[in-house]
Every structure is written in structure tokens, then in C-alpha cells.
Amino acid sequence: MSMRVHVEGIGLWSPQLADFAALHAQLQGTPPPAPAGKPPASTLPANERRRAPESVLLAIEVAGQAVAMSGRAPAELACVFGSAFGDLSITDYMCETLAHAPTELSPTRFHNSVHNAAAGYWTIATGCHAPSSAVCAWHDSIGAGLLEAAAMALADQRPVLFVCSDVAGAGPLAPITRSTQAFGCAFVLAPETSPRTLATLSLQLAPRAATPMDGGALPAAWSEANATAAAALPLLVVLAGRDRHCQMAAAGGLGLEILMENVA
Amino acid sequence: MPQPIHPLAVSAYTVTSALGHGVADHLRALEAARGGLRPNDFGDAPLACWIGRVDGVEDAPLPAAFAAWECRNNRLAWLGLQQDGFLAQAEAAIARYGAARIALVLGTSTASIGATEEGYRRLENGRMPADLERSGVHMPHSLTAFVAAALGLQGPALTVSTACSSSAKVFASAERLIRLGLVDAAVVGGVDTLCGSVLFGFNSLELVSPERCRPFDRARRGLSLGEAAGFALLERAGAAPAAPRLLGYGEASDAHHMSTPHPEGLGAELALRDALARAGLDAAQVDYINLHGTASLKNDEVEAALIGRIFPASTRASSTKGYTGHTLGAAGIVEAAFALLALEHGFVPGNLGGDEPDPACGPQFAWRGERRDVRIALSNSFGFGGNNACLAFGKAAA
């Protein structure tokens, strides 16, 4: 049983790469300048941008890039936001505060701590009433989330925005999560081909294989710094036209075989 | 509007909450209008409020083979899985379909954050104490990863974490995977446990009631938090001809505010209409709605108006948060189980705590339990971030 989805937009951000074009350049051996400062997240109104935590800025930045590339109106897209850990800085703040002064917990940080914070900010900023979700599957968050988003696109025959992003760990959780820098990526997936189609992917569930990934021109440290980046890299390399096939982990023993059928 | 779906069989389900372990305890409590809330006795410096705490979690450690997953949330999951023969039902499904052909989709809002909180209380030189240096319990997928291991499932495994709609949305994800032929069955459900993050977090938003929560009462003062575990097994209808059905579901976003519902309940209404459309139902065919009804001022006001403008008086509606407290990410599955109990036993639970009904509530409200035939039952679940879901269940076609 294979599924075909059509990629219409791709977003990407890490401290080294400002967008998908930067990854392309990097893979071709011409490293681009690193982005300055925080993810710009220009989809958010200025007051929301000030209030939003780093995890939300990151997710909104890559979501905005992918939707802009697709040319679609964001309000028409259902959305699935994946993240292995959510906002680790807020988790650190909450656990630290609860250990010493629980009644002083900040209400804003509490409501920003929900795993669907980015989905909330995104739907509010874009006036989107479509279904929105927030998912995770530890180190397999991007593979499992891609499966969820593709299933939604095909089952309901509607375009879906899929985002997967993780920020750096903080405090005592840093050595446990082993996430040392931010990474996010996003894809607009459509059930049918159109003039917007950038690539058609055939997805199929299969037993999980060990597939050591060669990032080509990317320094290994880039993907080692963030498990979601490491898991996303094979798909990004395929979408950059450097390979035609990859497998992503979708669950414990399960892989998602991905074959690129054409490039526009 | 979405296309109607082929109904799925809910061939097994179970629930564990402050009302007890397994469905029989819950049915008895609902029929007797006996709530499960108690004065807050959770943690070292408990807030003055009421909670829906599950008895026996502390005395039910995980089997040694699962020691890496040990934490309150996974204990409650394990306790929940052992009720109503659910483990045996899951095993039978694995024998029928194969472990890779069954999806696992679970909802939770805070998963095992209680273990992370505990680690921070006992830091050793700024590091997690050795017994909590277990990466599997410091992430929101902890519940699903543990349940996949405990049941021996090898299919797609996903955690949905959209605050208080989490374990309603799992039914939608599972239905899509089954419809596309990616799996033949799915274990869905959700677990959330009491922890500092939610008790002090909702307290910081001034949403926690100092007394037992009173959904839809004119003098309601906020919510009471609870904990629960629930699971259901979904299969194609032909696999269990007599089992109750998942008829439809709807999901929609408010696009309004992170912690306040849309004032006209726009997202909630979209989710409700989406669920009715997928189920191929008119509002007038609905016999019972289990409401989200948290007892927060705003939720209940918006939801009462929604029910009043869409349903006739013959549709009965109640919140059961007065029995269990608000079990957050588990509320979807707990209240799905209550909707299924209503179908199976012909009993509409009364809206416990609504002693002086808010005048916004229409004639649909069942303030006391009612015996009546229930053929179609809905369950509403609304979460932070304006995340809304509605489930539609029905009896098997005669």
C-alpha cells in the first residue's frame, strides 16, 4: 500500500541555514552566510512575536517559508506540527519554578508550554479554522508526523502543512535530550499534482532498516546537534535532488520508504 | 463539508479514573450520581482545591521488564490496560492482524512531566538524579513508547498532544490510517496524570476552583483537575458486527486565543458540524452529547450557547467533569467511554454539580441521570490553542 503526495513548499531553519535554498547551496559546496539571530517568524504580528517562545518562532518561521513557496493561502491548509520535545526552555523554567516557588508560575509560560502552542499561534495568526494538530514520536517525530500529515492529505483530499522542529535543550534536561541547537523544517503536501508541485513522493511502510546517512557537504555536527535534524536530513537530501530514495524511521520497528518520482 | 466515512467498530474499550478501575465502576458511579473528587492531597504543598485522583497508582509499579519507563503516568497507563480484559483484546487483535498492522495513537497533554518535575526537586550537582537519568520518561512520547512496548505493537505509533482535545483526535488519526489501508486496526486512547505543571499552571491562570467543580452552574468557580487512562480498539465494522460504532469525528481551530475559547464557539461548532457530516447525521438524530463542560466561566457559557442553537430539546446533554475532574489529555477517551456506556446501557449521566443551572443552559441539559434509549451519542473536547474535536458514536446497525 503506497501513498503518493505532492510537495508544494519546503521550509527550513537552523542556526547555519536560513532556508531550503541555503541547504541547496550548502550541498553544492557553496556554504551560505548563516542567518542572523532568531528565526524571523514574520507571519506573526509583532506583539505575538515578542510573546512567543523560541520553539514557536522556529516552527512559524519554517511553516511560513513552506506556505509562501507553495503560493497557497495558509487558512486553507490543515496543519500538523511535530516536535520531539516541545519547548525545552519552558520545560526547564516550569520544572525549576515548581521545585522552588510553584505558586509563582507564569501563566503566559504555562499556556506557551502546551505541545500545540505553535499550532495555536499559527492558526491564530493566519485565521485558519482548519483542523490543526500537534504530535510527537521521540526521535521518529518527523517520520511519524509525515505519515500523519500524508494520511490526512490523502484521506480527506486536502492540502496539509507539516512542520517538524526542535529547539536546544536547557538546564538538567540538556544532557538527556542531547539537543544542542535548533532545527526546523516544513512541507506543504497536496493530494494531487498541480502546477505548484515541486516533487512527487511515494511513501510506503516497511520494516525499519539501518540506513546510515551521508549528509554530503553538510558537516556531521549539524545533524548530530539535533535528533530531528538528523532524521530529516535524508528527506531533505532527496528533495534537494541529490538522491531519489531514502527511508525515515516512523516507529520502533517501522520505516517509511520514500521514493521521489519527479522533480519539477 | 467532508464525505461520510464507513463506521468503524469499537470492539473493546476501558477507562480508569477517580471513579474507579474499569467500566463497571464508572457505570455504577454515574448511575448513582456519585462523584470521585476529593480535597487535594497531591504533592508536598497542595493547593487548596479538589482533585480527581486515581486510587492505587502508587501501589502498582511497572513489571521489571519495563523499569526504564517507570513513572506515574506510565503506571496509570499500565493499570488502565489491565482493566476490562483490554490486554487480552489487544493480544487477540495482534494474533488476527499481526503486530505491524495495528496502529497505536495516544493522546496526552503532559505525559510523564511529573518524572521531570521530580528530577528537578532532587537534582544532584545540577544533574538529574541517577534513578531518573532515563531519557524515555523526559519527553512527551513517553506514554506511547511505553504502551507500544507493553502491548508488543509494531505498527505506526504516534502521540497527539493538543492539550484537552488530545485523546479525542486520536480517533480521527486512527480512522484515516485504517481507511487508507495502512493498518487493519488501531489501539487509541490517552493518559494524563496529576502533576505540578497542571495544578500550578491552571492555578496561575486563575482557572482552578477552590471547591468541587460545578459545570454549567451559575456560581461555577473553575475546574477541578483529574487524572485518567482510557483505551479503545478500533477495527473495520465487519470484524465486530455487534460492537458500537465510531460514526464520525470533526476537528477545527478557533483561530482566536491561546487560552480562551472563541466567544461564539466558532471552532467548536465547525468541529461539531464536521463530525455530523462525516457520520451522515442531522443534529436532531443525536440522543446524547457528553459536553466538554470544564466549569470554567467562559467554556461553559460558549458551549451552552452552542448546544442551545443547534440541538432540539430531545437531545440530552451533560458534562461529566463533576465526576472525574478535568482529565486534560485523557478527557477525550474518558468521555468517549461515557458516550459508549450511554449507548450500551441506555443511560444519560446527569450533569453533576449543576445545582443552580446557568440561565444560558437550554432544555437539552440532563441535570439528573436519565434512563432512555441512546442510539447516537457525541462527545465534545476543546483544548488550549483553540483546538476543537467532536466524536460521534452509534449502536451497531440492527
Backbone angles phi, psi at A250, to 5 degrees: -110, -25
The average pLDDT across A17-39 equals 93
* CA-to-CA dists, residue B348 to A129, B289, B338, B363, B366, angstroms: 31, 9, 9, 14, 7
Task: Say yes or no for a CB contact (<8 Å) between A131 and B45.
Answer: no
CB contacts under 8 A, B 284-323 vs A, are: none
pLDDT of residue A206: 95
Do B155 and A144 count as a contact with CB atoms less than 8 A apart? Answer: no
Has residue B64 got a pLDDT over 90? yes
Domain CATH code at residue A40? 3.40.47.10
CB A92 within 8 A of CB A168: no
**Structural domain total, chain A:** 1
| Helix, coil or strand: residue A124 | helix
The tens digit of pLDDT for each residue in A178-194 reads 899 999 999 999 999 99
Q: Does B208 touch chain A (CB under 8 A)?
A: no
C-alpha to C-alpha distance for B190 and B228, rounded to whole angstroms? 8
Measure the CA–CA gap between B273 and B306, rounded to whole angstroms: 11
Out of B117, B157, B205, whose CB is closest to A95?
A: B117
Phi and psi torsions of A75, nearest 5°? -70, -20
For residue range A148-168, list pLDDT tens digits in order. Answer: 999 999 999 999 999 999 999
Q: At what angle do helices A88-100 and B196-204 cross, to 10 degrees?
A: 90
Q: Is B23 exposed, middle or buried (0-12, 13-18, 19+ CB in 10 A)?
A: buried
Q: What is the pLDDT of residue A209?
A: 86
Q: Which pLDDT tens digit goes with each residue over B71-91?
A: 999 999 999 999 999 999 999
Query: Amino acid letter at A54?
Result: E
Chain B interface mutation, best of A132, A147, A161, A208, highest count of B Cβ atoms under 10 Å: A132
Is residue B164 part of the annotated active site? The answer reads yes
What average pLDDT does this structure show over B139-160? 98
Residues 338-377 of B with CB under 8 A from A: none
pLDDT tens column, A118-146 = 999 999 999 999 999 999 999 999 999 99
Mean pLDDT computed over A237-260: 94
* A221 CA: distance to closest CA in chain B (Å): 21
pLDDT value at position B115? 98
Task: Give me the catalytic one of B164, B195, B361, B390.
Answer: B164
CB–CB contact A251 B387 (8 Å): no
| Domain with A117 in it | 2-263
* pLDDT class of A211 with cuts at 50, 70, 90: low
Q: Are B378 and B397 in contact (CB under 8 A)?
A: no
* pLDDT tens digits for range B13-54: 999 999 999 999 999 999 999 999 999 999 988 999 999 999
Q: Determine the distance in angstroms separating the CA of A262 from the nearest CA of chain B, rounded to an integer.
A: 23
- What is the per-residue pLDDT for A224? 87
Tens-place pLDDT, residues A49-66:
999 999 999 999 999 999
Task: State the cell numbers at A196.
Answer: 505548484
Contact list, A205 vs chain B (CB under 8 Å): 100, 156, 182
Contact B190, B330 (CB under 8 A): yes
Residue A222: the pLDDT is: 85
* pLDDT value for A220: 77
Characterize the bridge pairing of strands B225-226 and A183-190.
Answer: unpaired
Q: Do B176 and A147 touch (CB under 8 A)?
A: no
Give the integer Cα–Cα distance in Å for A101 and A63: 36
Averaged pLDDT for residues A230-244: 94
The domains of chain B, with CATH numbers, are 8-394 (3.40.47.10)
Out of A116, A127, A251, whose CB is closest to B161? Answer: A116
Distance (Å, whole) CA A260 – CA A238: 7
Q: Cα(B251)–Cα(B153) distance, rounded to whole angstroms?
A: 27
Catalytic residue among B195, B292, B361, B390: B292
What is the C-alpha separation between B292 and B380, in angstroms, rounded? 5
Q: Return the C-alpha cell found at A221.
A: 555536527
Instruction: Reply yes or no on whether the pLDDT at A250 is more than 80.
Output: yes
Specify whether the CB–CB gap between B362 and B314 falls below 8 A. no
pLDDT at position A263 is 55
Query: Which B-chain residues 154-193 have CB contacts (< 8 A) with chain A?
Result: 154-163, 169, 172-173, 175-177, 179-182
CA distance A149 to chain B (A): 9
Q: Has B390 been annotated as catalytic?
A: no
User: Cα separation of A35 and A61, whole Å?
Assistant: 12
Q: Is the pLDDT of residue B66 over 90?
A: yes
pLDDT digits (tens, 9 = 90+) for B275-330: 999 999 999 999 999 999 999 999 999 999 999 999 999 999 999 999 999 999 99
The span from the CA of B297 to the CA of B117, in Å, is 30
* pLDDT given for residue A31 in this prediction: 86
Q: Which residues in chain B are closer than 8 Å to A136, comparing Cβ atoms?
A: 139-141, 158-159, 161
Determine whether B326 is an active site residue: yes
Q: Which three cell numbers stand for residue A133?
A: 494538530
pLDDT at position A221 is 83
Q: Which of B21, B26, B262, B326 is catalytic?
A: B326
Predicted confidence at residue A218, as pLDDT, reads 74
Q: What is the pLDDT of residue A217?
A: 65
Interface of B with A in 11-70 (CB under 8 A): 45, 47
Complex confidence, ipTM: 0.98
Cβ–Cβ contact B254 with A under 8 A: yes
Find, in chain B, the residue whose alpha carbon is nearest to that of A178.
B135
Q: Please name which of A132, A139, A155, A162 lies closest in space to residue A66, comparing C-alpha atoms.
A: A162
B151-193 pLDDT tens trace: 999 999 999 999 999 999 999 999 999 999 999 999 999 999 9
* Percent of chain B's residues with pLDDT above 70: 100
Q: Identify the pLDDT of residue A96.
A: 98
Q: What percent of chain A is predicted at pLDDT more than 70?
A: 96
Distances from the Cα of B194 to the Cαs of B211, B228, B294, in angstroms?
Answer: 17, 9, 16
The answer to whether B224 and B249 are in contact (CB under 8 A) is no
| Per-residue pLDDT, A223 | 85
Q: CA of B121: which chain A residue's CA is closest?
A: A99
State the burial class of residue A204 (Cβ atoms within 10 Å of its Cβ: 0-12, 13-18, 19+).
Answer: middle
